[in-house]
Amino acid sequence: MSKDTLSIRDNRTEKEYEIPIWEDTIRAMDLRQIKVKDGDFGMMSYDPAFLNTANTKSTVTLVDGGNGILQYRGYPIADLAENASFLEVAYLILFGELPKAGELAKWEAEIKTQMALPEALPNIMKAFPKDAHPMGAFVSNTAALGTLYPDAREVLDEELRWKHIKNLVAKSASLGAYFYRHSQGLGFVDPDEKLSYAGNFLRMMFHEGGGDYTPDPAVERAINILFILHADHEQNCGTTTMRTIGSSQADPYSAAAGAAAALYGPLHGGANEAVLRMLAEIEDVSNIPAFMDSVRSGDKRLMGFGHRVYKNYDPRAKIIKKVAEDVFKVTGRNPLLDIALELEQIALSEDYFIERKLYPNVDFYSGIIYQALGIPVSMFTVMFAIPRMVGWLAQWTEMLGDNEQKIARPRQVFLGPVDKKFVPIEER
Ligand code: ACO
């Protein structure tokens, strides 16, 4: 008869243990009873970089990397990208269900009326050098925004929690766009409640002069889709940072700043920037063979390829490739696209990449679109951070409502020296 347990025999002691299995998982704490002698700490699991450790249970986002599936709250990503607005998807991710018409109207009004930044923020931004990296500024300005709301620290008060979730979702786009204006030496542009979230982002970035701004519908749709595709991706490096900081009950602005800092790195959200720099370095299709040689020899990485979880085509990359075609009809073709298409074709047919299950990820084509829209390369990771704010906050509030969670505090396997005698400086 089958049983949902795992039998473990410790050959050091010849003792047997039976450990419950739940959702194909054993609890690491169940290993602690495995000891050689009383007084031992007990067995731990060793898992650098969390390759096989579930840090939480969650109902927000499903990523099935082997099969290339991504769903928010049960809805496949392609359906959402095709049919919904970014704020509709944000509502779904945060509240768990798609909004009814009245709920969506109320939610949109709440967010759009809060998009303008309080005066302190533009003033803080002006203190940054114009060539500061926009992600460094995004991290700092997100944390700085939190200093304006002392009640944000009351994270166990649900009503206040939602007040600040809405505020951060609303202001995320503005934090990114306002800093772009500063970096270009341009005046700030306030949001306009008549526009969509994506349209407002474009207005705050690119509006010249006063009066109304009407975004190009294809460009607005592209930003809307790109924001949806980046809204959440379960327990990645940035989100785990959000949960880890949040587990100490720090305010959500500080936790989101930390999550954004994690996203900044070139192996994570910084990859879209790294892809563009790589394509620019390759410069011409004729240089691809030499570049691929350096990838095969391990000197270089093909940025925008590979993923810790997807060992199949990233479903977001497929959607983005299609968006790229629509955008190029408006902006003209980005010449880097030819290099990207050729790299993709080689990588998908070569043993080195096939054996390692390396497929294009979400970042491979997004940068080419952003560049065509006139967004500077250094802003690309900000384009990722703006919508990811939604996922960070959904995961953060889920964590605070989970009574199994405590302050995050991994263990270590200590291999250093012990009990050394202090040596006075003149004797060393
Ligand atoms: N180009 C060339 N080789 C690669 C690449 C790549 N992009 N990615 C992985 N490999 C190779 C590694 O060299 C390694 O080869 P080996 O077994 O011969 O040593 C093997 O594939 C496994 O690689 P790991 O680094 O162990 O895989 P891991 O799961 O740790 O890394 C990561 C995943 C960080 C995304 C990696 O694939 C990478 O660096 N990709 C490029 C950066 C990138 O595009 N990041 C964006 C990820 S998506 C996101 O964060 C939104």
pLDDT mean over 263-278: 90
| Active site annotation includes 207 | no
Over residues 303-321, the mean pLDDT reads 88
* Rounded CA separation 216/211 (Å): 16
Instruction: Give the nearest ligand 1 atom to 384 CA.
Output: 51
Q: In this predicted model, what pLDDT tens digit does every residue of 224-267 receive, in sequence order?
A: 999 999 999 999 999 999 999 999 999 999 999 999 999 999 88
pTM of the model: 0.93
Active site residue 268: yes
Ligand 1 pocket mutation, candidates 305, 313, 388, criterion most atoms within 8 A of CB: 305
| CATH number given to 60-401 | 1.10.580.10
Kindly name the residue from 232, 251, 314, 363 that is annotated as catalytic. 363
Q: How confident is the model over 153-185, as pLDDT tens digits?
A: 999 999 999 999 999 999 999 999 999 999 999
Whether 225 contacts 322, CB under 8 Å: no
Domain boundaries, the chain: 1-46, 60-401
Alpha-carbon gap, residue 3 to 332, rounded angstroms: 61
Ligand 1 pocket member 268 (CB < 6 A): yes
Q: Please state, for a pLDDT cut of 70, what percent of the chain lies above it.
A: 100
Residue 292 Cα to ligand 1 midpoint, Å, equals 15
Mean of the per-residue pLDDT values of the chain: 95
Mean pLDDT value of segment 10-35: 98
Predicted local distance difference test score (pLDDT) of residue 270: 84
Pocket test for ligand 1, best of 356, 359, 363, 382 (most atoms within 8 A of CB): 356
Distance 262 CA to ligand 1 centre (A): 17
- Tell me what the mean pLDDT of segment 410-423 comes to: 98
Taking the centre of ligand 1 as the mean of its atom positions, its distance from the CA of residue 171, in whole angstroms, is 33
Look at residue 330 and tell me whether its pLDDT is greater than 80.
Answer: yes
Average pLDDT over residues 210-231: 94
Among 181-185, 301-305, 424-428, name the one with the lowest average pLDDT: 301-305
Q: What is the pLDDT of residue 290?
A: 95
pLDDT band at 2 (very low <50, low <70, confident <90, very high): confident
54 pLDDT higher than 80: yes
Nearest to 338 by CA among 360, 313, 361, 365: 365
Residue 364 has a pLDDT of: 87
354-365: average pLDDT: 89
For the cut 80, the answer to whether the pLDDT of residue 209 exceeds it is no
> 4 catalytic, yes or no?
no
How sure is the predictor about 272, in pLDDT bands with cuts at 50, 70 and 90? confident
Catalytic one of 192, 268, 326, 338 = 268
Q: Does the pLDDT at position 18 exceed 80? A: yes
Catalytic position from the list 133, 164, 230, 307: 307
pLDDT(96) > 90: yes
